[in-house]
């Protein structure tokens, strides 16, 4: 039997998900047809319903439909709930389920691929958009000593940090006053438009690890890390690991 999965987004032609999932399927000996689907705001819900009505196994959702997918689903994992957004959909007992594997994919990438640990560590999360929201609960669950969220619009960072005892927040302009961090995660989209992104040198110590969620670009953030000779990586490992968690949901071992 050939199973059908797909990723829905707009734009979608660039998506690496079909290649990544083909690799997982090969490794498990599963026959999988995984396609890219281009959707518009007014046909997204119909495409999802039609996909599952015709026996589709699972969907990945990417920009700009993660919030719409969350709203469409009848049941949500705690990670989707915390993010208010979904990147993974499937049917279970006749109900549409939603998960958000981005944050757990980030943690798995940092721990498995980049050998980072969280206990007793000071973590800086830059950004307070969808990607930061998705990362927050898994980051808190990793039990760092301290998590600081900094965003261009400080109020959005403060809203994210408010429920958590070991989290604080500020605008980017307050970063110069803070002690160095062990791990700095860039969850802003500044790199997408080649935006300037200057950070104070005092944020890093010689063993700070810098991770940019964006992948495939030499962003200003990664250049900042290189200029301070910090170990660093881009978001490709997060992409692969969020995909792995989706695949495990659709095809439990
Ligand atoms: P959103 O549009 O939801 O949020 C964008 C964030 O970036 C906001 O916090 C915004 O600040 C900030 N920002 C934008 N431009 C600048 C700038 N020039 N300087 C400083 N801050 C800026 O985007 P997402 O959260 O969905 O995505 C963020 C990044 O994460 C993207 O690069 C995306 O590609 C990547 N990503 C990677 C994934 C992976 O698997 N590797 C998965 C998901 C996302 P403000 O609130 O002030 O506007």
Which residue owns the Cα nearest ligand 1 atom 6?
A: 188
Which residue owns the Cα nearest ligand 1 atom 11?
A: 152
pLDDT for the residue numbered 178: 97
CA 183 to chain centre: 16
Pocket (CB within 6 angstroms of ligand 1): 102, 127-132, 151-153, 156, 187-192, 195, 197, 213-215, 235, 238-239, 242
pLDDT for the residue numbered 48: 98
Interval between CA 29 and ligand 1 midpoint (Å): 36
Question: Max alpha carbon distance in the chain (Å)?
Answer: 59
Which residue owns the Cα nearest ligand 1 atom 40?
A: 239
Backbone angles phi and psi of 219, in degrees to 5? -75, 165
pLDDT for the residue numbered 193: 82
What is the C-alpha separation between 230 and 211, in angstroms, rounded? 10
What is the C-alpha separation between 197 and 224, in angstroms, rounded? 8
What is the C-alpha separation between 159 and 179, in angstroms, rounded? 22
Interval between CA 5 and ligand 1 midpoint (Å): 27
Q: Could you say which residues of the chain have pLDDT below 50?
A: none
């Amino acid at each position: 039997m050939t199973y059908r999965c797909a990723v829905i987004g707009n734009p979608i032609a660039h998506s690496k998900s079909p290649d990544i999932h083909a690799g997982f399927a090969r490794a498990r000996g599963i026959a999988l047809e995984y396609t890219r689907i281009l959707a518009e705001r007014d046909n997204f819900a119909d495409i999802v319903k039609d996909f599952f009505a015709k026996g589709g196994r699972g969907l990945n959702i990417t920009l700009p439909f993660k919030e719409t997918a969350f709203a469409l689903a009848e049941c949500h994992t705690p990670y989707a709930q915390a993010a208010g957004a979904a990147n993974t959909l499937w049917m279970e007992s006749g109900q549409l389920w939603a998960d958000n594997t981005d944050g757990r994919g980030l943690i798995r990438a940092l721990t498995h691929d980049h050998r980072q640990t969280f206990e007793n560590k000071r973590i800086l999360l830059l950004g307070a958009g969808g990607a930061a929201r998705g990362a927050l609960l898994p980051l808190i669950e990793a039990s760092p000593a301290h998590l600081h969220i900094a965003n261009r619009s400080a109020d959005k960072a403060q809203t994210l940090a408010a429920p958590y005892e070991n989290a604080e927040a500020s605008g980017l302009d307050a970063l110069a006053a803070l002690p160095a961090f062990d791990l700095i995660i860039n969850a802003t989209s500044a790199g997408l438009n080649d935006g300037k992104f200057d950070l104070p040198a005092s944020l890093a110590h010689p063993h700070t690890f810098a991770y940019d969620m964006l992948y495939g670009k030499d962003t200003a953030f990664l250049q900042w890390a290189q200029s301070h000779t910090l170990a660093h990586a881009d978001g490709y490992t997060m992409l692969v690991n969020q995909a792995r968690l989706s695949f495990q949901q659709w095809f439990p071992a």
